[in-house]
Amino acid sequence: MHQIQTPIGDEVIRSLKVGDSVTLSGTMVTGRDAAHKWMIETFIKQTRPAQGDDLQVHEELKKLLNGSVIYHCGPVVTGKSLQEYRFIAAGPTTSIREEPYQADVMKHFNIKGVIGKGGMGAKTLKGCEETPGVYFHAIGGAASFLAQTVTKVTGVFKLEFGMPEAMWVIEVKDFPVVVTMDSHGGSQHAVVDEASKKVLNDLLSR
């Protein structure tokens, strides 16, 4: 079991291999579809102008995500009226929706870890090699349990996207994950996909 604290150095990332169990502690940021699309269009490809506090948020995210982790999560959060936020559920979201964006976002913000479920594709795997970074698979169906590892909500960006799509800044303690894509080109998801295709082809050929 690897116990890792954010921010994470390249040497730690390079030491991780597919199949390694990890507990994460420290600061991470949630981000789903709306957040990734916004980051790509506003700051990376710059196909839309920055609006409102976008530039200020960008500078904050550059600091928070540098060497840290982005979590594909649409949490259930209480305390909005008093801005005393607390996570009630914090399960992973299916990651493949961020495949068009993830490698570019990793490179731009120097993100070392991506947490989600279901794995990602070739573009993200290449991003993991180049950044370097890893994909951490979180436990699906354990949203309440994972929320218990969130010790504090320290901030939120882009709340106008809605509670699930906002970028929540959280502190976690011993958040459990498994490395399923590493910085050496290893992908358990690719292995499973290839094996599944072989079984399917064998069944169809009968």
7 in Cβ contact with 26 (< 8 Å): yes
Does residue 61 lie within any of the structural domains? yes
pLDDT score at 68: 98
pLDDT score at 188: 86
Q: How far apart are CA 73 and CA 76, in angstroms?
A: 9
pLDDT score at 180: 97
Show the domain range for 132: 2-201
Number of Cβ within 10 Å of residue 186's Cβ equals 19
Q: What residues in the chain have per-residue pLDDT under 70?
A: 189-204, 206
Answer yes or no: 2 catalytic: no
pLDDT score at 193: 58
Does residue 96 lie within any of the structural domains? yes
Among residues 2, 36, 184, 189, the one annotated as catalytic is 36
pLDDT score at 37: 97
Q: 58: burial class by Cβ within 10 Å (0-12, 13-18, 19+)?
A: middle
Does residue 126 lie within any of the structural domains? yes
Instruction: Output the domain CATH number for residue 176.
Output: 3.20.130.10
pLDDT score at 147: 97
Does residue 206 lie within any of the structural domains? no
Total domains in the chain come to 1
